[in-house]
Amino acid sequence: MNCREAEELFDLHADGGLDAATSRSLENHLERCSSCRTAYDAVKAESELLRRALEADLSSAAQIARIEVRVYEGIRPALMVSIGEWVMAVLGILLGLLVLVWGSFDSTGVREAVSLSLNPRGGLLVAIPTVLVAALGVLAVIVVQPLLLRINEQE
Amino acid sequence: MKIDRDTVEQFKAGDDEAFSRIFRTFARGLFGTAIRILGDRGLSEDVVQETFVRLHGMRNRLEPDRPVGALLVRITANLAIDALRKRKREKWEALEPNASAEKATAPPIDAKIGTVDAINRAAGDLPPIYRAVLALRYGQDMTYEEIADVLRISVPAVALRLKRGKEQLRAALARQK
C-alpha cells in the first residue's frame, strides 16, 4: 500500500468501515510512514470531535415535556379502542343472555317457556332474537373497532 | 444509555412508570437524531412522539434481551427519513451524491474550528442525505450496515455519503474560519 492508497482509506478506517484485512494493511503502512500517521491521527481526532458535537443535546426541557404529553395523548385513543372492544363484546353477550332469560321467564312460565323453546316454532321465537343480539354484539366489535382506529389515524 | 431487562418486562406488563423511564432515557437523544436529519423542530417533535407511540403499540412483541435503544433509534431514523422523502421542498432523489461532484479539499476539522456549536450549525446546512448519515454514524454510533439498512441504500453508498458529507463539513467550517 502506498501513501496515496492509504490516504483514501483514512476516513473509512477512522469510522470503523474497513474490513479486517484492509485495516491491517493500512495499520502496517501507518507504522512505517510518519507523515501518513500524522495525517491519519488528524482524521481520527476529527471523528472524535464530530461524535462529541453530534451527540450533544439539542432539546430543551420544555420541548421534551411537550413531547411526553403528546405521546400519552397518542396512546390514549389506542387504549380507548381496546376498552371499547371489551365493553361492546361484554354488552353483546349480556344482551344475548338477557333475551334468552327473558324468553324463558315470560308470562307463560318456565315450564311453558321450556316447552315453547323445544317446539320448533317457539324455539325460533327465542333463538332468533338471541342470535340477532349476539350477532349485533359481534358486528359492533368487527365494524366499530376499525372505524374507531380509522378516526384515530385521521386525527 | 441503557434500559435494563426488568424495565422492559415491566413495560410489557403495562407499567406506565416503566414506559416513562424509557421515554426519559431516550427522548433527548432521539430528538437530536430527528432534528439533525430533518432540520425542523416541529417535525422532529412529531417524529419522536410517533416513535414512542409505536413502541407502546409493539410492547407485547418486545424481546427483553434486545436493546430498546437500538430499536427506538431505528424507528426514529426511519420516520425522519420518510418525512424527509415526503417533503416537497427537499427532493431526496435530486440530492443523490453525484460521482462527478467536485471534491472538497479542506483539511480535517480540528478542535480550533470544530466547536460543538460550529459543527452542528455547519452540519445543519448540509444536504439532507449527508445530514442523515452523519447523524446516524456519529450521533447514534450506528455501523455502516445499520445505516445502510435504515436508509435503504448499499454499504458502499453509506461510505461514499459519509466521506462526501465530511468533506463538505470541512469545507464549510474552513470557510467560516
Contacts of A67 in chain B (CB under 8 A): 27, 31, 45, 48-49, 52
> H-type helices in A105-142, by residue range?
109-118, 120-139
Confidence tier at A73 by pLDDT (50, 70, 90):
confident
Higher pLDDT, A57 or A87: A57
pLDDT in tens, A14-36: 888 888 899 999 999 999 999 99
What is the mean predicted confidence (pLDDT) over B63-85?
87
Confidence tier at A2 by pLDDT (50, 70, 90):
confident
Quote the cell numbers at residue B81.
Answer: 427519513
Q: How far apart are CA A153 and CA B50, in angstroms?
A: 12
What is the mean predicted confidence (pLDDT) over A137-153?
66
Instruction: Check residue B62 and give its pLDDT.
Output: 87
Instruction: Check residue B151 and give its pLDDT.
Output: 82
User: Chain A: residue nearest B158 by CA?
Assistant: A17
* Interface contact B110-A16, CB threshold 8 A: no
Q: How far apart are CA B177 and CA B164, in angstroms?
A: 20
* Interface contact A78-B57, CB threshold 8 A: yes
Residues of A at the B interface, defined by Cβ within 8 angstroms:
11-12, 15-17, 42-43, 45-47, 49-59, 63-64, 66-68, 70-71, 74-75, 78
Least confident of A76-85, A91-100, A101-110, B109-118: A101-110
pLDDT surpassing 60 at residue B129: yes
Q: How far apart are CA B59 and CA A123, in angstroms?
A: 47
Q: Residue A84, exposed/middle/buried by CB under 10 A (0-12, 13-18, 19+)?
A: middle
ipTM: 0.81
Contacts of A15 in chain B (CB under 8 A): 137, 144, 162
Query: Which of B59, B49, B56, B58 is CA-nearest to residue B79?
Result: B49
pLDDT in tens, B39-49: 888 999 999 99
Instruction: Check residue B102 and give its pLDDT.
Output: 46
Instruction: Check residue B137 and give its pLDDT.
Output: 93
In angstroms, the first-to-last Cα distance of chain B is 35
